[in-house]
Amino acid sequence: MELLEKLEFYKKNKKMLKSEILEKIEKAFDIDYTYNSTTIEGNTLTLIETKAVLEDKISIGGKQLREIYEVINHNKAFQYLKETTQEEELEEKKIKNIHEILTENIIQGGIYRNTDVQIVGANHMPPTPNEMYNQLKFFYEDLKTNKNKMNPIELAAWTHAEFVRIHPFIDGNGRTARLIMNYQLMKNGFLPISIKAQERLEYYQTLDRYATKKDIKPFEQLIKQLEEQRLDEINKIIEQSLENK
């Protein structure tokens, strides 16, 4: 079954699942996504600890306060995204809002950097602040035109890869990029995806290939695979529900 067929099956049959089951699936994804996205950036909370912070509101001893805020803020930013995806377009103000939520109580968010930055382990050097502002201008213009030129998976991949290549903030670029990638997926009727922390090497390599060679295909393929995996997991539950009818 091809990706679009899997998506169509999900949309057609998800109503067969009880609302409490759908809610459970969504909550489990939210925790997994927050855990993986923050872990990729060096957060040391485990999946169980992330769940305890988000669901049980438990503070974790021995962890930096910054790490607790990173987890809480990421979940807040994702909830904000889910609530506003269908109502708002992805533009500069929204991206700054996302970043501000992500960095609350950590740094002043929503403000572009005025200094050079380096991505550890990458062959690509982000643009200087002056170059960055020019490239951001084109990025926001391209956001408007590419949604009519690219398929949803390619658009999600390009949005993430181009944003993180420009690296406009002093911190939080990766988490922001993964959120706006999921915005593009959800806006076009797809499910949000979670890039596993243990897959970060492949993830970094595909992003570096785009930054150095403008080749989006490997990253696009990674997103497609993750989207198919999510659909396969949920569709399997739907099929089991249909069989038990």
- What is the tens place of the pLDDT at every residue in 56-86? 999 899 999 999 999 999 999 999 999 999 8
Burial class (CB in 10 A: 0-12, 13-18, 19+), 92: middle
**Does the domain spanning 3-243 belong to CATH 3.40.50.1390?**
no
Nearest of 92, 42, 32 to residue 66 by alpha carbon: 42
Give pTM, 2 decimals.
0.96
Q: What is the pLDDT of residues 167-191, one digit of tens each?
A: 999 999 999 999 999 999 999 999 9
Catalytic residue among 74, 99, 160, 167: 167
Respond yes or no: is residue 167 known to be catalytic: yes
Output the pLDDT for position 35: 98
Nearest of 39, 40, 234, 43 to residue 119 by alpha carbon: 40
Q: What is the pLDDT of residues 128-153, one digit of tens each?
A: 999 999 999 999 999 999 999 999 99
Longest alpha-carbon distance in the chain: 62
Output the pLDDT for position 245: 67
The Cα 58–Cα 47 span in angstroms is 13
Rg (CA), the chain: 18
The answer to whether 151 touches 206, Cβ cutoff 8 Å, is no
The Cα 73–Cα 102 span in angstroms is 5
Quote the mean pLDDT of the chain: 95
The Cα 116–Cα 3 span in angstroms is 40
